[in-house]
Structure 1
Amino acid sequence: MNRQLYRFFTKDHRRIEELLELATKNPDEIQMEYYQGFRAGLLTHIKMEEKILFPAAQKANGGVPLPIAAKLRLEHGALTALMVPPPTPSLIKVLRHVLDKHDIAEEEPGGMYDVCSALTQNQTTELLEQLAHVSEVPVHPHHPAAFALEAAKRALTRAGYDFDTVAQ
């Protein structure tokens, strides 16, 4: 199997994780420059999957969505919603938890990246070219209102996670 798409996306996972690590090295003081890079990186990564990888795999699968795609899309929605409120220690803990589970589902043998790579093996060069030209997602300022965190909690619930339980 051609592993170029797998390597592309897993390398980007590691880059995004490193930005989060740099942003939260001191848990009492989040380094916002790195956190902003993390936010933009995560949202752009999600964009690449949702706009290029998943549709290409579905098309190659005869138009049938991949079974795991629905769960991953719910998690993408939850992760996106978590980018809206300002970061707090509990929000960071939840982010890490969801990202860990999400990345495993994409990276594990037989996971989303393996399946997508197999289905689109004749399109690898074309897909990598498209991915190379994806523009970074603009990141808006955080919204500190309580309703922003509540909306993120609802998105997490739809994805199968409970913010308050994970944050403990």
Structure 2
Amino acid sequence: MNKPIHQFFTEDHHRIEKLLINATKKSGEIEMDYYHQFRTQLLRHIKMEEKILFPAAKKANPEVMKELLPQYRLEHGALTALMVPPPTLSLIKVIRYLLDKHDLAEEEPGGLYDVCERLTHEQTQEILEQLMATKEVPVHPPNPAPIAMASARRALERAGYDYDEMLRNAESQKK
């Protein structure tokens, strides 16, 4: 079966992932130009899901989406909050860990994208046009204030994650 919306978002995941890979290509360093592109593109991706895909799928079947969306929205909130503090290698490990889990749940067979694709199949072209026309989200420079990191940790907790545990898991996976 042809799944153009699923394909659109999956390709966007890969494009965003490459930006993060490029931002951390040099061992122990963060290339800020690539990281800035990663931030803006990740936030644009979240905007496309929250403002276009989710409302269309929810309109098609509110009951199904009522069950599915809360966790994704909490994870979007956590990812957005993680974009506020200045990047560190530890923060990037946590972001990658969350993105790996989040993206898999969206992309896997029977996952969020399959459900949304099925619910919105009659609107595919219209949705794709809206997605392609989505503008970047304007961003402020990273905020070094301690409250930025504290807020990101709380957003992760609301989504069911612990920053320190995620960091340990990310580091143990690399060994």
After TM superposition, give the deviation of residue 26 of structure 1 in Å.
Answer: 1.7
Q: Distance in 2 between the 1:68 and 1:167 partners?
A: 26
Work out the percentage of aligned pairs sharing the same amino acid. Answer: 63
Deviations 1:82-115 (CA, angstroms, capped at 9, x unpaired): 0000011110110000000000110000000000
Paired residue total: 167
Q: How does 1:35-46 map to 2 (within 5 A)?
A: 35-46=35-46
State the Cα deviation string for residues 25-76 of structure 1 (Å, max 9, x = none): 1242100000000000000000000000001001011x33512211000000
Structure 1 stretch 1-10 or stretch 46-55: which is displaced more? 1-10
Aligned counterparts, 1:129-144, within 5 A: 129-144=129-144
Q: Which residue of 1 aligns with 2:173?
A: none
Q: 1:162 to 1:147 in 2, by over 3 A?
A: same
**Secondary structure of 1:130 counterpart:** helix
Q: Tell me, which stretches of 5 or more residues in structure 2 are unaligned?
A: 169-175
- Please list the CA deviations of residues 124-167 of structure 1 after superposition, one character each: whole Å capped at 9, or x if unmatched: 00000111111111111000011100000000000111001112
**d(CA) in 1 for partners of 2:134 and 2:64?**
23
* 2:63 aligned counterpart, secondary structure: coil
Q: Which residue of 1 aligns with 2:171?
A: none
Q: Does 1:153 align with 2:149?
A: no
Given the two structures, how large is their TM-score scaled by the length of structure 1?
Answer: 0.97
Distance 2:49 2:136 in 1: 13
Q: CA RMSD in A?
A: 0.9
Please, what TM-score do these two structures have when normalized by structure 2? 0.93
Change in Cα spacing, 1:65 to 1:140, as seen in structure 2 (3 Å) is: farther
- Report whether the alignment pairs 1:64 with 2:39: no
Structure 1: state its 5+ residue gaps.
none
Match of 2:172 in 1: none
Equivalent in the alignment of 2:103:
103
Asked if 1:32 is matched to 2:41, the reply is no
Higher helix proportion (structure 1 or 2): 2
> Judging changes above 3 Å, is the alpha-carbon distance between structure 1 residues 159 and 129 closer, same or farther for their aligned structure 2 residues?
same
Structure 2 Cα separation of the partners of residues 65 and 92 of structure 1: 33
Measure the CA separation in 1 of the matches of 2:64 and 2:40: 27
- Rounded Cα–Cα distance in structure 2 between residues aligned with 1:46 and 1:55: 13
Distance in 2 separating the partners of 1:37 and 1:70: 27
Secondary structure, in 3 states, of the residue corresponding to 1:57? helix
